[in-house]
Structure 1
Amino acid sequence: METLITILAGILVTAATYLILSKSLIRVILGTAILSHAAHLLIITMGGLKNGSVPIIGEGDANPVDALPQALILTSIVISFAVTAVSLVLAYRTYQETGTDKLDQLRGDRNE
């Protein structure tokens, strides 16, 4: 199962890299969102996908699940959602002002 999720994270990184290298601002934002999801999957996989009980002191189970990777991922999901939302709002405002979302046109002419 861990191998399958690692391969899925690699596919997501590939798709995110393709989107980030495109010339549309919306695609770049979606690429960064997909890249953050790939990082979430990779961190969860590195933390280990195992069955166990809740890590409570005093319980008799000798195989508790580590809660730290899950807590880090939860925090990271909230932060990446906020960054994506702010980026989409800025892209929408940029489109309203300039009428385009192409990065070449937003950069302007280098000769002027």
Structure 2
Amino acid sequence: MNPILSFIVILVGIYGLSVSKNIIKSVFCITIVEAGTILLFLNLGAYEGGVIPILSSLGIEIVDPIPQALMITTIVIGSTITSLALMLCIKIFHHYGSIEWKVILKGDK
């Protein structure tokens, strides 16, 4: 996959974040930016003909396992943060009665 496609995914998430009027849509746009970042790092850590370290034998070129391990950690942390953010959206809805940014920033109940 081309790293330019990863940048496009990141830019789509940033655009969605800047135009969203809803908190849940903002959370999903942050998740899209995270997915684009993961794609970018995995693209930069891989190369043609590389084999994952578990399947390699002596003398075979292997890909760098550090970006893969970091991105697995990022996926776990990202899913945790997303679930926490969605839980906070539920709490905000119960408190304000809306999940629109304008209503929440005004502070009206």
Say whether the fold is shared (TM-score over 0.5). yes
More helix by share: 2
Aligned residues: 104
Counterpart in the other structure of 1:42: 40
1:9 to 6, 10, 18: 6
Counterpart in the other structure of 2:17: 20
Structure 1 Cα separation of the partners of residues 17 and 26 of structure 2: 4
Pick closer, same or farther for the CA change 1:23–1:54 going to 2, 3 Å.
Answer: closer
- The 5 Å alignment of 1:48-63 reads 48-55=46-53, 59-63=57-61
Q: Unmatched 5+ residue regions in structure 2?
A: none
Pick closer, same or farther for the CA change 1:71–1:103 going to 2, 3 Å.
Answer: same
Q: Deviations over 1:37-77 (max 9, x none)?
A: 00000001111233334447xx4224122111100100000
SS in 2 for 1:83: helix
Bigger Cα Rg: 1
Matched, 1:102 2:100: yes
Between 44-53 and 73-82, the greater mean CA deviation after superposition: 44-53
| Kept after mapping to 2: 8 A contact 1:17/1:31 | yes
Structure 2 Cα separation of the partners of residues 105 and 53 of structure 1: 52
**Cα RMSD, aligned residues only:** 1.8
| Kept after mapping to 2: 8 A contact 1:20/1:32 | yes
One-letter amino acid of the structure 2 residue matched with residue 67 of structure 1: P
Q: Deviations over 1:64-97 (max 9, x none)?
A: 2211110010000000000000000000111122
State the percentage of identical aligned residues: 28
Q: Unmatched 5+ residue regions in structure 1?
A: none
